[in-house]
Chains A and B, each alone.
Chain A
Amino acid sequence: MSQVAAITRAGETSAPAAHPRLQAALEALQARFDRAFGARDNPWRNLGSLGFFFFWIVAVSGIYVYALFDTSVSGAHASVEAMSAGPTAGLMRSLHRYASDAFVVVMFLHLAKEFVLRRYAGFRWFSWLTGVPLVWLVYASGIGGYWLVWDGLAQYSIIASAVWLDWLPVFSEPLVRNFLTPESVNDRFFSLLMFLHIGIPLLLLLGMWVHIQRVSRPMTNPPRRLALGTLAMLVALSLALPAESNAPADLSRLPGALTFDWWYLFVHPLMDATSPGFLWALSGLFTLGLAALPLLGRGERPPVAHVSLDNCNGCGRCFADCPYAAVVMMPRTDGRRGHRQQAVVLPDLCAACGICAGACPSSTPFRSVEALVTGIDMPQLPVAELRARLERSVAQLTGPVKVVVVGCDCAAEVKALAGPDTTVLSLLCTGMLPPSFIEYALRGGADGVLVTGCLPGDCAYRLGNFWMEERIRGEREPHLRPTVPRERVKVAWAAARDVEELRRALASFRAELSGLGSMQGKAIRRLARQEVAVD
């Protein structure tokens, strides 16, 4: 590798290290789904938003089913059976069931994926920790729903749940004694169950809202095609295998062989095979283990973004682009006229991704100030340092087609692409790149700029690649000027395992560039004639 060509940071802080083997397996799996769905619609990259989507399906179908439900011991089972007999009500009941099951599946996949990517420590601790109680709320909502049908499964589940709760030394009269004989259950008890089955999901929704509080622009809706596809799948499943009840509950008899929802109710047979104490210990350890992960994963925090008030005009672009709401706009403290606000970084929330630096209009390398200082910058890789390194390395590029590759530490490692005719910049996040740097590289002698980073929907800092694309397309400020020849700019997203794919993309780009000729003489002069607006 050319020492000149590979621009790396001295004393750099590495990207969050994932569990390498598990991450490789996850990426391989995602890559398979990418081929079918495309990266943007890949369900593996939209697990959180799918969770929200399934919640709303459960809520809407639940409201429909509730309207037809008889809240009484004698009428509950019959009313549910009557629903199953009707085409619309039967479909809604089945959707209610299968969307709830799908919710559990995506919840655990979401949890597993975030664990594999070590997204539980550092600035992400809040989202992780607030996600832990959601597992309990999802199960409390789902299991409670099965009781309302008041069939054999409800009978078995409610008694097993009561035995489990009775293990805690908090009830003066054991709960299970409420389910000894048929006479012990009454309509008022059913009203209580209904209250719980509405109240707990509302608590769950509140918990989901808290869960996403530390991310700005949370993606709570999956892409349209994915949403339609999963909804169609649930409808097809509901039609092919309509949800059915077991025989009505009879506390004087055992329920017999039950159709059993293992997604939710597996805990009961597990308790039967062990003991209530074992199940409490297991669920307690699971919960505490998850809750403790942010503590175990604590390491040295990278330096957070820093605001230079003299160079901040309070435009709010860093505030708009920060994926974690770590930048807020506050009233000006330096009395500078003409600017009412200033950016303030909240260090606890800052992910140190540098996206704010890429959003700052002062980050343009065309500024002719003595020392390039931008409005908001990353101490570990200041914009001035980035410009200096880019200038040095572009000047030393040789060969007929000179290319600058800009990537990030979290995706395909761009350092592997460095060579005499290729220089690479590995940033904290691709979104850290001010788009004017692309023009600066071309005017400095590069024939093309290849921008890479995490695949769509999979940015380690959520929005970096998304913002970068928009800036290059001119849809987001600061944008790449329209006069920059777009044929000399290529975007090729690539996951960590896709280095070879990226190498092929670079080769293909180089071939295209060689057809365009060198970025010398006229082309540079034409580009240079366009005045560059510098704030």
Chain B
Amino acid sequence: MKAARFVAQALLYVPLMVILGYFSTQPRFTDIAHGQALVRLSFSHAGARKVECRQRTPEELAKLPPNMRAAMDCPRERSPVKVEIEMDGRVIFAADVPPAGFTKDGASTIYRRLPVAAGKHRFVARLRDRPEGEFNYVHEESLDLAPGRAVVIDFNAAQGGFLFKG
């Protein structure tokens, strides 16, 4: 009876062991298809103020408490950042990235994964951080992307605009 119980217990432990071990490693996982590369667009950039600063008139200043009489009136809200990624003449991503914060005065931040076919490609990255007008940052780059390669398109205005990394 004891031996039979022992065998029965072993028979119940084995499937648990198999299930535990199998799902601990299998099935294998690939986050993008074979033969593809990945473009990762990511930046954190504050757009220009939505409304330009302006000089307060003497009448307006007089109405304010003495400790709040700042000469310039600068509304805090910032403009969304418009971004566009073109690959081989075709726009593969476009977005108006809103500013962060309840009063919309923070930086516009984005992270997007753009899987693309491996091979040679010509990329054009465009960005506008003003409320209106044309893209004020444009960068072109040709890349030969091997399968599995990950390229980052970052943006830093202080360093001249778009940065292709990786």
- Do these two chains really belong together in a complex? yes
Asked whether, in the complex, the Cβ of B25 is within 8 Å of the Cβ of A252, the reply is: no
With contacts A36-B5, A101-B20, A102-B20 known, is A173 near B25, CB below 8 A? Answer: no
Could you say which of A260-268, A365-373, A449-457, A475-483 contacts chain B?
A260-268
User: Would you list which residues of chain B between 1 and 41 have a CB under 8 Å from chain A?
Assistant: 5, 8-9, 11-13, 16-17, 20-21, 23-32, 37-38, 40
Q: Which residue of B lies closest to A262 (CB)?
A: B23
Count the A residues whose beta carbon is within 8 Å of the partner chain — how many?
A: 46
Q: Is A181 an interface residue (CB 8 A)?
A: yes
Interface residues on B, range: 35 or more
Best-surrounded residue of A101, A173, A233 (most CB of chain B within 10 A): A233
The number of inter-chain residue pairs (CB within 8 angstroms) is 112
Set A163, A240, A244, A258: member contacting B29, Cβ < 8 A: A258
Q: How far apart are the CA atoms of A145 and B136 in the complex, in Å?
A: 44
With contacts A35-B8, A251-B150 known, is A174 near B32, CB below 8 A? Answer: no
Asked whether, in the complex, the Cβ of A263 is within 8 Å of the Cβ of B24, the reply is: yes
With contacts A101-B24, A105-B20, A257-B28 known, is A180 near B44, CB below 8 A? Answer: no
Q: How far apart are the CA atoms of A233 and B16 in the complex, in Å?
A: 9
With contacts A254-B150, A258-B28 known, is A174 near B111, CB below 8 A? Answer: yes
Q: Is A14 an interface residue (CB 8 A)?
A: no
Q: How far apart are the CA atoms of A38 and B24 in the complex, in Å?
A: 29
Q: Is A236 an interface residue (CB 8 A)?
A: yes
Set B27, B42, B150: member contacting A176, Cβ < 8 A: B42
Q: How far apart are the CA atoms of A229 and B14 in the complex, in Å?
A: 11
Q: How far apart are the CA atoms of A221 and B106 in the complex, in Å?
A: 53
Set A176, A177, A241, A254: member contacting B25, Cβ < 8 A: A241
Set A36, A177, A262: member contacting B11, Cβ < 8 A: A36
Q: Is A299 an interface residue (CB 8 A)?
A: no
With contacts A98-B21, A176-B42 known, is A254 near B28, CB below 8 A? Answer: no
16 A-B interface contacts by CB (under 8 A): A35-B8, A37-B5, A37-B9, A37-B12, A173-B109, A174-B44, A174-B111, A180-B40, A180-B154, A180-B165, A236-B17, A252-B149, A252-B166, A253-B148, A257-B28, A269-B29
User: Would you list which residues of chain A between 10 and 35 have a CB under 8 Å from chain B?
Assistant: 33, 35
Q: Which 6 residue pairs are nearest across A and B when measured between Cβ atoms?
A: A36-B8, A260-B29, A259-B25, A252-B166, A262-B23, A233-B13
Q: Is B117 an interface residue (CB 8 A)?
A: no
Closest-CB distance, A388 to chain B (whole angstroms) = 45
Set B12, B30, B106: member contacting A258, Cβ < 8 A: B30
A 259-299 to B, binary, CB cutoff 8 A, 1 in contact else 0: 11111000001001000000000000000000000000000
Which residues does chain A contribute within 8 Å of B21, judged by CB atoms?
98, 237, 240-241
Set B25, B27, B31, B42: member contacting A255, Cβ < 8 A: B31
Asked whether, in the complex, the Cβ of A172 is within 8 Å of the Cβ of B25, the reply is: no
Asked whether, in the complex, the Cβ of A254 is within 8 Å of the Cβ of B42, the reply is: no
Which residues does chain B contribute within 8 Å of A97, judged by CB atoms?
24
User: Would you list which residues of chain A between 210 and 236 have a CB under 8 Å from chain B?
Assistant: 229-230, 232-233, 236
Q: Is A156 an interface residue (CB 8 A)?
A: yes
Set B5, B31, B111: member contacting A156, Cβ < 8 A: B31
Q: How far apart are the CA atoms of A33 and B148 in the complex, in Å?
A: 48
Q: How far apart are the CA atoms of A233 and B9 in the complex, in Å?
A: 11
With contacts A181-B165, A253-B149, A258-B30 known, is A173 near B20, CB below 8 A? Answer: no
Closest-CB distance, B76 to chain A (whole angstroms) = 15
Which residues does chain B contribute within 8 Å of A272, judged by CB atoms?
31
Given A180-B40, A262-B27, A269-B29, 20 further pairs, Cβ under 8 A:
A36-B11, A101-B23, A156-B29, A163-B111, A166-B111, A173-B107, A174-B109, A177-B111, A229-B13, A233-B16, A236-B17, A241-B21, A243-B24, A254-B37, A254-B150, A258-B28, A260-B28, A260-B29, A261-B24, A261-B25
Q: Is A399 an interface residue (CB 8 A)?
A: no
Q: Which residue of A lies closest to B152 (CB)?
A: A180
Asked whether, in the complex, the Cβ of B20 is within 8 Å of the Cβ of A98, the reply is: yes
Set A101, A166, A253, A263: member contacting B150, Cβ < 8 A: A253
Best-surrounded residue of A36, A97, A166, A255 (most CB of chain B within 10 A): A36
Asked whether, in the complex, the Cβ of B27 is within 8 Å of the Cβ of A260, the reply is: yes
Q: How far apart are the CA atoms of A98 and B18 in the complex, in Å?
A: 11
Q: Is A335 an interface residue (CB 8 A)?
A: no
Q: Is B87 an interface residue (CB 8 A)?
A: no
Q: How far apart are the CA atoms of A231 and B24 in the complex, in Å?
A: 17
Q: How far apart are the CA atoms of A102 and B20 in the complex, in Å?
A: 7
With contacts A260-B25, A262-B23 known, is A233 near B17, CB below 8 A? Answer: yes
User: Would you list which residues of chain A between 148 and 167 have a CB under 8 Å from chain B?
Assistant: 156, 163, 166
Q: Is B100 an interface residue (CB 8 A)?
A: yes
Closest-CB distance, A35 to chain B (whole angstroms) = 7
Which residues does chain B contribute within 8 Å of A35, judged by CB atoms?
8
User: Would you list which residues of chain B between 128 and 166 have a CB under 8 Å from chain A?
Assistant: 148-150, 152, 154, 165-166
Q: How far apart are the CA atoms of A255 and B44 in the complex, in Å?
A: 25
Which residues does chain B contribute within 8 Å of A521, judged by CB atoms?
none
Asked whether, in the complex, the Cβ of B12 is within 8 Å of the Cβ of A33, the reply is: yes
With contacts A36-B5, A233-B17 known, is A172 near B106, CB below 8 A? Answer: yes
Q: Which residue of B lies closest to A174 (CB)?
A: B109
Which residues does chain A contribute within 8 Å of B5, judged by CB atoms?
36-38
